[in-house]
Amino acid sequence: MGRVHIALFTNGYPHVDAAIRAMDLSHRHGASFSRTIGEPLSLRRDQFIRWFVETDASHVLMLEGDVVPPEDALARLLEVEAPVATAVYPQWVDERLCSNVQTLMDPTWSEAIPSGRFPVRRCLLGCVLVTREALLKIPSPWFLSTMTEARFVTDDEWFCAAVSRAGLSIICDGSVSCAAFRQGTDLRSTAGAAGARPVRLEASSQPAAVRPRQERTAGNPAEATADSTPAMSSPSSPRLLVVMPTRGYAYAPSLMRAANLARRFGHELVLGTDRPIELARTRLMLRFLETDAEYVVTIDDDVIAPEDAVDRLLALNAPVATAAYPIMTDAGLVWDVKADGTDDWVAELPNAVFPVRHMGLGFAVIHRDVFARIRKPWFQFGAAPGGRVLGEDAWFSNGVRRAGLQILCDGSLRCSHFKDGLDLAKFAR
């Protein structure tokens, strides 16, 4: 078997399980990996293929940010030995639940599909394995969404028609069943899902561990080259665990930067998907205390810190250290810290290290001894004077201060904070 490349396409906020599975498949099979962010996906896919056909890879597994294939999906699709092989997953079309494939004799999306292998005339592109040889037989553009005189043609229809014109086959393995998430729900769990049996969703009561992978960016496909593994921490480096509470859909660069950071320190990234958020944070810290790590780095799923942020925060040798990120409040755009002696958010971040009385938890380094010093519950929403709500980050900050411990902020470290794809740091002072 030749070399495989795994390409994840997302609008920027993939489902966490989808992003993690894509990285895990890459790690498991020694495949190179890229992520492409942005829309329209048809243009992104076509740009990627222009790069891919110039590589020495034999196959590409194209994945989408809301589709989660099984752990053995790549191996099983390779066994199909077809120019194009697809897994199966449910979708909503015209208020009905159906599959992602159209059989040769049925121009509609099939509601019932066999569990074995069978040819299809069309498939969606959420989990499809394509040979480089097949792509070389298809004229470009490989993917195009366009309006004809009669109707709109989507990029999956364009691609599948091109495959057919080239005399190539598309084979679906109906036994390779993927999760497909819509608004946080796995459509396979919906009664009557086409070709899919109702399944039990993975329980979120235990944080999920991630085997991280070196990040690749395919916004410029030329950057998605052969994999190189980041250096592991040296024996003298502090033992550190990286955790990320998430709502289920994370900003892709944030998730992958955190995974790379975890790998650098020789641990796995640990995800917490519980609700409410204070429960997720509590369970992540309990997981941290079960390890031998000295420090925990907690990163929110829409925050990206400078690459050297952890090293610089560790160098402060503080019980709790944070890198600030911008937030929107009634007072406008401010930073997520309140300096000692004031109840106001910092409007202009000083380019220095300074003590704070309150911090957000988007990017913080915490020593394990802190949790032995502060009272439980560590994270909780509460009431504040004036009828205000005390968030779980303020609750934690207050507990740290009451225990006589210091919180330091390095104002020279400025994190990006993404909301609806927009980096608030570009507008902060």
Cβ-contact 77, 143 below 8 angstroms: no
Distance (Å, rounded) from C-alpha 411 to C-alpha 339?
Answer: 11
378 within a domain of the structure (yes/no): yes
Is residue 131 domain-shared with residue 248, that is, in the same domain?
Answer: no
Q: What are 174-206's pLDDT values in tens digits?
A: 999 999 998 678 888 774 444 433 222 233 344
Is residue 278 domain-shared with residue 412, that is, in the same domain?
Answer: yes
Length of the chain: 429
Which positions of the chain have pLDDT values less than 70?
1, 183, 191-237, 383-388
Residue for token pair 């709500």: 389
Is residue 275 domain-shared with residue 406, that is, in the same domain?
Answer: yes
Is residue 249 domain-shared with residue 162, that is, in the same domain?
Answer: no
Provide the CATH number for the domain around residue 303. 3.90.550.40
Is residue 175 domain-shared with residue 236, that is, in the same domain?
Answer: no
Is residue 179 domain-shared with residue 263, that is, in the same domain?
Answer: no
Residue type at 139? P
Look at residues 189, 211, 245 and tell me which one is the last residue of a structural domain.
189
Is residue 247 domain-shared with residue 384, that is, in the same domain?
Answer: yes
Q: What are 392-417's pLDDT values in tens digits?
A: 999 999 999 999 999 999 999 999 99
207 within a domain of the structure (yes/no): no
Is residue 285 domain-shared with residue 146, that is, in the same domain?
Answer: no
245 within a domain of the structure (yes/no): yes
Number of compact structural domains in the chain: 2
Is residue 65 domain-shared with residue 176, that is, in the same domain?
Answer: yes
Residue type at 42? S
Is residue 172 domain-shared with residue 285, that is, in the same domain?
Answer: no
206 within a domain of the structure (yes/no): no
**66 Cβ contact partners less than 8 Å away, ≥ 6 residues apart:** 14, 15, 18, 126, 180, 181, 182
Look at residues 189, 210, 245 and tell me which one is the last residue of a structural domain.
189
Query: What residues make up the domain containing 33?
Result: 4-189
Is residue 262 domain-shared with residue 168, that is, in the same domain?
Answer: no
Pick from 100, 96, 94: nearest CA to 62: 100
**313 Cβ contact partners less than 8 Å away, ≥ 6 residues apart:** 321, 322, 323, 365, 410, 413
Task: Say if strands 84-88 and 127-131 run parallel, antiparallel, or are unpaired.
Answer: antiparallel
Residue 339: its pLDDT value, please?
95
Look at residues 189, 213, 245 and tell me which one is the last residue of a structural domain.
189
Q: What is the pTM of this model?
A: 0.67
252 within a domain of the structure (yes/no): yes
361 within a domain of the structure (yes/no): yes
61 within a domain of the structure (yes/no): yes
Is residue 137 domain-shared with residue 237, that is, in the same domain?
Answer: no
Residue 213: its pLDDT value, please?
37
